[in-house]
Amino acid sequence: MDCIIEAGIIFCGMNKNGTPSIRHDAAMRIQNGKIAHIGAVEAVVSGNAHLPRHGGPDFVAMPGLVNGHHHFGLTPLMMGVPFAPLELWLPQFRRMRSIGTRLDTLYSAIEMLESGTTTVHHIASGLMGKPDDWAVATDGVLQAYQDIGMRAGYSFMIRDRNILTYDDDAEVLKNLPVDLAARVSAGLAAAHVPTRDYMAFFRETRGRWVEKAGDRLRFNLAPANLHWCSDESLQLIFQTARDNGAQVHMHLLETQRQAAFAHNRYGHSAVEHLAAIECLGPELTLGHGNWMSRSDLDRVAECGCTICHNASSGLRLGSGIAPVNEMRRRAIPVALGIDQSNLADDRDMLLEMKLAWALHRETGMWNDRPDARGCCRWQRNTAPRLQASKSCAAAWIPVLLLTSCFSTESRWSGPLSTGGCLSAKRFSTAATELQSTRCSLVAR
């Protein structure tokens, strides 16, 4: 869409020295889906009076927020799964009903948009069934983001071992009653997919969608975790990522048991093992990192990795609190994700930013603690991992238009996509479709 956005304050981003770049009483001209001009209102409007105008002097305009770690729409709590330690929580997902990936994705996309998140990294929990089923599920997710107008990075979790527990599946099955072992074994067969098949699907799907979605979509790779992936699988995944210019997002050291697994299996930490097999580099984002030691953090800093902090997730499941201040001291880029949902069981990124800010204030008089600028930098660290290419510059970032805290109007005015595809009509259509499905589920 072509338009003019006026605001009393325009937050343009962060300067190289870490200070916010702010314009007062200014306007932006949007042309062909890009920010073409930011300047004084009179200068921007001159010669463009025919364009529709949004905002006003009581508004604040800022870049859209980014959720760097997201899985699916309806939350486990909504589907009857109570909070529990991760290892007791995940098996209960089998009780959750499915409404299809497209509608499920639309639900959380609406929640994200309503609270200002316009870009997301969607990590599908896994591919089920046959390759044709993989394509249907994946296309449902990607089409949802296309329909509603969000930018997305997409990946699917890859596993090739230890599906049941932290031990080898064969050892677990040997200790089960014969009839139970037979039933479990049948279900495991579908989960044992060679990593090369997943890589072929990644390349095929990426080829189909990149031209269709343009720079609103990026494909990444997501080895599920160290205990779920053999060394051979990890090396193939990283080589595929490097060959295709893709990013890698890997859960690591989320819980204490995951930290213990690495030491028990390899005799050293999970980070040290990734370095030993040459799977630690600047293309890697590590999700969680709650149980990283200082030496782990030193190694991560040396290798140029990013860490995605999921504050609510660690608190909800009792998994742990990531040592974010130690990361900051080492200049490790920290991104922010909401994971399944935040403490309020929704996808409000502003709430998550406030939580992360408060959680790492620590006690003491003179601590080096995060401030508001630091939280904005965490958002900036997330965005490059989800851009479709290096040419996807800041001009493509969707704009949020908020009413000022001094205004008597409602504070949230909603997102304006500079690409022109995030319209009220699309948003309303998606919401109506979800409401119809909800009524159908209740009727059952």
SS3 336: strand
- Enter the tokens of residue 287: 């999700």
Q: Distance between CA atoms of 437 and 396, rounded to whole angstroms?
A: 33
- DSSP state, 204? H
pTM of the model: 0.88
CA 54 to chain centre: 29
- Enter the tokens of residue 89: 């929580």
Q: What is the pLDDT of residue 295?
A: 98
Count of Cβ atoms closer than 10 Å to residue 346 Cβ: 16
Q: What is the pLDDT of residue 367?
A: 84
Q: What is the Cα Rg of the chain in Å?
A: 22
Which ranges of the chain have pLDDT less than 70? Answer: 383-444
Q: What is the pLDDT of residue 391?
A: 32
Beta-bridge partners for 92: none
Half-sphere exposure of 387 (CA within 13 A, CB side): 16
* Per-position DSSP letters for 19-44, written without gaps between them: -EEEEEEEEEEEETTEEEEEEEHHHH
Q: Distance between CA atoms of 46 and 193, rounded to whole angstroms?
A: 60
Q: What is the pLDDT of residue 6?
A: 94
Beta-bridge partners for 67: 120
Q: What is the pLDDT of residue 381?
A: 76
Q: pLDDT tens, 255-302? A: 999 999 999 999 999 999 999 999 999 999 999 999 999 999 999 999
CA distances from 105 to 118, 175, 316 (A): 14, 39, 22
Q: What's the CA dihedral at 309, 397, 74, 198 to 10 degrees? A: -80
- How many helices (H) does the chain have, and how many strands (E)? 16, 15
Count of Cβ atoms closer than 10 Å to residue 173 Cβ: 16
Q: What is the pLDDT of residue 392?
A: 32
3.20.20.140, 1.20.1730.10, 3.40.50.150, 1.10.760.10: CATH of 68-159+193-395: 3.20.20.140
- The CATH homologous superfamily of the domain defined by 3-63+399-429: Urease, subunit C, domain 1 (2.30.40.10)
Q: What is the pLDDT of residue 432?
A: 61
Chain length of the chain: 444
Helical (H) or strand (E) element with 12: strand 3-14
CA distances from 223 to 120, 230, 248, 280 (A): 18, 10, 8, 13
SS3 10: strand
Q: What is the pLDDT of residue 437?
A: 54
Q: pLDDT tens, 68-97? A: 999 999 999 999 999 999 999 999 998 898
| Residue 240: closest CA among 314, 158, 339 | 158
Domain coordinates in residue numbering, the chain: 3-63+399-429, 68-159+193-395
Q: What is the pLDDT of residue 317?
A: 96
* Per-position DSSP letters for 248-307, written without gaps between them: EEEEES-SHHHHHHHHHHHSS-HHHHHHHTT--STTEEEEE-TT--HHHHHHHHHHT-EE
Q: What is the pLDDT of residue 368?
A: 84
Q: What are phi and psi of 408, to 5 degrees?
A: -85, -5
